[in-house]
Amino acid sequence: MGLGIMPLVNGLYGYYVTVPAIEETDDAVKEAAEELGLEDIPIVSTGRLALAFAIMILVGSCMIVVGAALLSIALSRNRRRIEKSP
């Protein structure tokens, strides 16, 4: 479970903080270019970056769920072992 927390937190931070900051910068560049009369300026697409952060969120969530399931299985086996001992 502990291994899944880091990708989950990094993915959430990146998706909700980093991607909007990049989009704000891109909008400012587009506005400045339009004022100068430039129309076709290639801007960095944030689609792939947002997808990468979404995948990190998914992977972190899955790791936490699998870790919780494995922990519950280990605890139930430990309880059975304690109940069987005299």
How many angstroms separate the Cα of 11 from the Cα of each of 4, 40, 67? 11, 31, 18
pLDDT band (50, 70, 90) for residue 86: low
Q: What share of the chain is helix, strand, coil (3-state, %, to 5)?
A: 85, 0, 15
- Percentage of the chain beyond pLDDT 90 is 52
Q: How many domains does the chain contain in total?
A: 1
pLDDT category at 28 given cuts 50, 70, 90 is confident
Whole-prediction pTM: 0.75
Give the pLDDT confidence score for residue 46 in this predicted structure: 82
State yes or no: pLDDT of 75 exceeds 90: yes
Query: Crossing angle of helices 47-84/2-13, nearest 10°?
Result: 160
Structural domain of residue 71, as residue ranges? 2-84
Segment 36-62 mean pLDDT: 88
Amino acid 33 reads A
